[in-house]
Amino acid sequence: MKLLVFGQTGQVARELARIAPDATFLGRERADLMDPAACGAAIAESDADAVINAAAWTAVDKAEAHEATASIVNGAAPAAMARAAADRGVPFLHLSTDYVFDGAGDRPFTPDHPTGPIGAYGRSKLAGEIGVRAAGGRHLILRTSWVFSAHGTNFVKTMLRLGAERDSLDVVGDQIGGPTPASSIANALLFLAGEMSVGAAGGTYHHAGAPDVSWADFARMIMTQAGLSCRIDDIPSSAYPAVARRPLNSRLDCRALLADFGIHRPDWREDMQHIMMELGQ
């Protein structure tokens, strides 16, 4: 299977490069998501059997002041990609997020639950989902949450840095979700691309790590596995100075992905052990 991937330096793209080194990866210099037409042209000119979009605007707080830009990167560009893939008759796989939901309640969101983003980032990602579906081609939208790895900027690496510097940290305790290893997302996307390239139906699915935890409890496990003595104190979201509101409930119901493709929720605690080793902890 010839695979074309948008993204090169992000967490999921880097994990895809590990397991699919023969794939073609398009970074910003070859496919700028601020130029949706160029992204579509890259697909039109390729001979790929499947296309994965692992690139996105992920700066949640900055999106509040730059929503128009985030909406091009997360909305217009994926839509253009999906149209080009549809024209070529190849499947298009697109990463999305729990931020398309409003975060209300305490039950996991199913793929067909009504969306209702509470911030600019979520609205931009929802625009991308709508555009991908409207393209009319074979597609698969994979929503995920709380992505972490040994690469880039993420919660695990931030906690390791701060935990080594401080005796205690205040961490939000009223936001609940499933931390998801980027490696697990990459493996799922590669498998799904293969399934779709031979005719499997797509749709919208969820893939998130288990068990669901608060950010504070996630931080405690990071400190424990890293052997750091930093104490984690729970605080409410209202006490954390963030520009953008975050969903309180980021739980995702992942049963459809298991039923249709046999993909289980990864135990993020096991993956974290491997990441600690990679980071030399």
Report the chain's C-alpha Rg in angstroms.
18
CB atoms within 10 A of CB 277: 10
- As a whole number of angstroms, the distance between CA 261 and CA 203 comes to 12
Q: Please check whether residue 168 is in contact with residue 174, taking contact to mean a CB–CB distance below 8 angstroms.
A: no
Q: What is the DSSP letter of 154?
A: -
Q: Which residues are catalytic?
A: 121
CB atoms within 10 A of CB 82: 29
Q: What is the DSSP letter of 72?
A: I
- As a whole number of angstroms, the distance between CA 82 and CA 133 comes to 8
Which residue, among 133, 54, 143, has the nearest Cα to 98 in the 3D structure? 143
In terms of Cβ atoms closer than 10 Å to its own Cβ (0-12, 13-18, 19+), residue 275 is buried
- As a whole number of angstroms, the distance between CA 252 and CA 68 comes to 27
